[in-house]
Structure 1
Amino acid sequence: MILGSAPVLVFGGPYSNLRALQLLRARAIALGVSPSRIICTGDVVAYCAEPEETIAAIRDWGCHVVAGNCEQQLALGADDCGCGFAQGSTCDSLSKGWYAFATGRVSAASRAWMGQLPDTLSFTYGGFSLRVVHGGVDQTNRFVFPSQEALIAAELARARADIVIAGHAGLPFIKRYRDQVWFNPGVVGMPANDGTAEVWYGLVRRTDDGLSFLTQRLAYDHEGAALAMRGHGYADAYADALVSGRWPSIDVLPAAERAATGKSIQEQELIVPRPSLCAHTSAENGCCSVIRDTVI
C-alpha cells in the first residue's frame, strides 16, 4: 500500500539515456516525490550510449523497477533483446547493433540485479488496486497501443486490478474501459514519435473523489544524448530519433499510430472516481498474483 496524499511518479524505458534519467530524478525532487513513490516499468537499458551508467543511476535513486524484456534477456545472457520485433523488420535489424553494444558494457553485478527484479508490482492507492507490468499483463514483450481497444479490454479483463500501469509501447496514453484504466506514462529514454525531442513520464495523484492520471512532457539535453551515441556509431538511426522526435521505423505500430507519426502529442489528464468496492481484489486474494509479483 502507498500511503498519504503525495503523488506517485511512473515512467518507462530509460533506454540507457543517462541525461534524461538524471533530469527526471531532478524533476521528482522538485515535485517532492520520494523514491518509494516512484516506479519504472522496465527497459532501463536499450538504445542509448550509457547502459551501465544508467543502471547505476537508477539503483542509486532507489525507486521501484519491474523487469522489462531487456532486463530479462541481459540477465539470462541471451543473444537478442526479446523486444517482440518481427523477424527481419527494420527494428529487428537495428536491435542487433544496440543490443550488442549494451551486452558488452553491462557488468555481471548489473546482470545479477536485473535477474532479481520482479515481473510485476501490485499496490493499493486512494482506494484503487494498481498493477504495474512492462508490456502486457501476462506477456512481458506484448505491445499495447491506444488504438487497440479490444486488446486493452482483454488485457484489463485478466489484470484483476482497477488500474494497469504499463510500458514497452513507447507512447504515452490513458484509456478507460468500463471501471478500469490502462495507463502508459510513455518512456523517458526516447521521444514518442511525435516530431518533438521531449520525453515522457506520468503522475498518479489522489483527489477528493478518486485518482488523477497525468502524462507529462520532459525536455532534456537530447543533443548531448545523441552526440554520445554518434561517438560510438552503433545506432545512428536512434541518435537521429533523439533529435527529430521520429522513430527510425514504425514497423510495430498499428495503422492509427502510424498515421500520427510526427504529430505532437498533447499532455493528458483523466480523473477516475473512487470505486465504492474494488471488483478486482478481495481481502482473501489481494491483487493478482503471478510469478515474481511484488506487493509494495
Structure 2
Amino acid sequence: MRIADLGEITGPVLVFGGPYSNLQATQALFARAKELGIAPERMICTGDVVAYCAQPAQTVEAIRAAGCAVLAGNCERQLARNALDCGCGFDAGTHCDLLSGGWYGHANRSVGAEAREWMAGLPDLMLFSHSGRRAAVIHGGMSDVSRFVWRVSDEAVFVEEIALIQEVAGPVDMVFSGHSGLMFQRRVGTVDWINAGAIGMPPHDGRVETGFAVLGPRGIAFHRLPYDHCAAHAAMQAVGLVQGYDRALLSGYWPSEDVLPPVLRRAACANG
C-alpha cells in the first residue's frame, strides 16, 4: 500500500472526485478553485480521473499539469495494470456492468504508457492535518478500492472501514472518499465521513451541475459545479460513447440507477 502524508494544510482545502474523462468539468473546476482562492496544492482528487466521458488522455494531462494531489482510484489501478476491465465493483448484469465495456475500452485505447506509469505511482491512502483535525483520503473503501459506501449504508460499514484506516494510519477525525459519485457527510462516532462526489458526472438528481467539497474553518461545504456540459456531451457523441452516460450529462440522471440503493433511486427521491 502506498501512503502519502501531505502534512499540515492551512486554508481551505478543495476535495473532488471522479473527473471521469470529462475535460470540460475539469477545466471548470480549476477555474472555480481560482475564483475561490484555492491553489492546486490545496486540492485533492479522490481518484477515477479516467472513466465515462470522452477525453481521458486530455483530462489526465490537465490534472497532472495543475499539480494537485491525486489518489489512485480503481480506474487508475486497472489502467496501470493494463487490465481489460474497470474493476469498478459493479454487480454482474447491472447497467453499470453492461455499459462499462464501451467507456473503458475507449479509455484503454486512449491512455498512453507514460500516463499509466504515473497512475502506477499514485497513493492508495492520503493523510493530512487541518485546523487541529487529522484526515484520511480513500477512494471507495479501505477494505476494497471499489467498495460502494453510500450515505444510507449500514453504520457497520462505516465502522469497519474507519477501523481499517486507523489500523494503518492511526487515529483520524475525518475520512474523505469518492467512488460512489454522490456527495454526502455522515457522522460515525467521533469521525466525519465525507464523500466529495464526482465532478465528471451529475449526482443523479436531475441537475446538470456536478459537485465538490471544500473543507474550511467551519467544516465542510458542498458546492455545485456548472460547466459546459453540452460540449462534454458532444465530445462523447463524437467518439461514439452513446450508450447512456452521454445523456446523463444533459438529464442529470444516470443510466445505471440499479447500482444505487433503492432509497436513492429516482422514484424514492421523488416520493420524499
The two structures have a TM-score, normalised by structure 2, of 0.92
Name the amino acid aligned to 2:181: G
**Structure 2 residue aligned with 1:279:** none
Rate the CA distance shift 1:87–1:3 in 2: closer, same or farther, 3 A. Answer: closer
The residue correspondences of 1:65-144 to structure 2 (distance < 5 A) are 65-144=70-149
**Structure 2 residue aligned with 1:19:** 24
Deviations 1:201-238 (A, max 9, x none): 0000124xxxx111110111111100110112233400
**Structure 2 residue aligned with 1:189:** 200
Separation in structure 1 between the aligned mates of residue 186 and residue 161 of structure 2, nearest angstrom: 12
Separation in structure 1 between the aligned mates of residue 267 and residue 214 of structure 2, nearest angstrom: 24
Q: CA deviation at 1:262?
A: 6.6
**Secondary structure at 1:9's aligned position in 2?**
strand
**Structure 2 residue aligned with 1:205:** 216
Deviations 1:138-168 (A, max 9, x none): 3100000000132123222333221100000
Name the amino acid aligned to 1:183: I
Separation in structure 1 between the aligned mates of residue 110 and residue 63 of structure 2, nearest angstrom: 16
**Secondary structure at 2:244's aligned position in 1?**
helix
Name the amino acid aligned to 1:157: A
Separation in structure 1 between the aligned mates of residue 266 and residue 130 of structure 2, nearest angstrom: 36
Q: 1:168 aligns with which of 146, 156, 179?
A: 179
Name the amino acid aligned to 2:258: D
**Structure 2 residue aligned with 1:233:** 240
Separation in structure 2 between the aligned mates of residue 44 and residue 142 of structure 1, nearest angstrom: 17
Separation in structure 2 between the aligned mates of residue 255 and residue 158 of structure 1, nearest angstrom: 27
Q: CA deviation at 1:2?
A: 2.5
Name the amino acid aligned to 2:264: E
**Structure 2 residue aligned with 1:159:** 165
User: Does the Cα contact within 8 Å between 1:193 and 1:261 map onto a contact in 2?
Assistant: no
**Structure 1 residue aligned with 2:252:** 245
The residue correspondences of 1:215-230 to structure 2 (distance < 5 A) are 215-230=222-237
User: Does the Cα contact within 8 Å between 1:94 and 1:235 map onto a contact in 2?
Assistant: no
Gapped regions of structure 1 (runs ≥ 5): 264-296
Separation in structure 2 between the aligned mates of residue 94 and residue 239 of structure 1, nearest angstrom: 12
After superposition, the CA RMSD in angstroms is: 1.5
Rate the CA distance shift 1:26–1:158 in 2: closer, same or farther, 3 A. Answer: same
Gapped regions of structure 2 (runs ≥ 5): 1-6, 167-171
Name the amino acid aligned to 1:232: V
Separation in structure 2 between the aligned mates of residue 234 and residue 49 of structure 1, nearest angstrom: 7
**Structure 2 residue aligned with 1:41:** 46
User: Does the Cα contact within 8 Å between 1:122 and 1:132 map onto a contact in 2?
Assistant: yes
Deviations 1:109-148 (A, max 9, x none): 1000000000010111111110000001231000000001
User: Does the Cα contact within 8 Å between 2:9 and 2:42 map onto a contact in 1?
Assistant: no
Name the amino acid aligned to 1:224: A
User: Does the Cα contact within 8 Å between 1:246 and 1:262 map onto a contact in 2?
Assistant: no
Q: 1:178 aligns with which of 170, 173, 189?
A: 189
Higher helix share: 2
**Secondary structure at 1:182's aligned position in 2?**
strand
**Secondary structure at 1:104's aligned position in 2?**
helix
Separation in structure 2 between the aligned mates of residue 85 and residue 106 of structure 1, nearest angstrom: 22
User: Does the Cα contact within 8 Å between 2:211 and 2:222 map onto a contact in 1?
Assistant: yes
**Structure 2 residue aligned with 1:7:** 12
**Structure 1 residue aligned with 2:169:** none
**Secondary structure at 1:118's aligned position in 2?**
coil
Q: CA deviation at 1:261?
A: 6.6
Separation in structure 1 between the aligned mates of residue 221 and residue 234 of structure 2, nearest angstrom: 31
How many residues matched?
259
Kindly, what percent of the aligned residue pairs are identical?
48
Separation in structure 2 between the aligned mates of residue 45 and residue 229 of structure 1, nearest angstrom: 13
Q: CA deviation at 1:90?
A: 1.4
User: Does the Cα contact within 8 Å between 2:85 and 2:101 map onto a contact in 1?
Assistant: yes
**Secondary structure at 1:251's aligned position in 2?**
helix
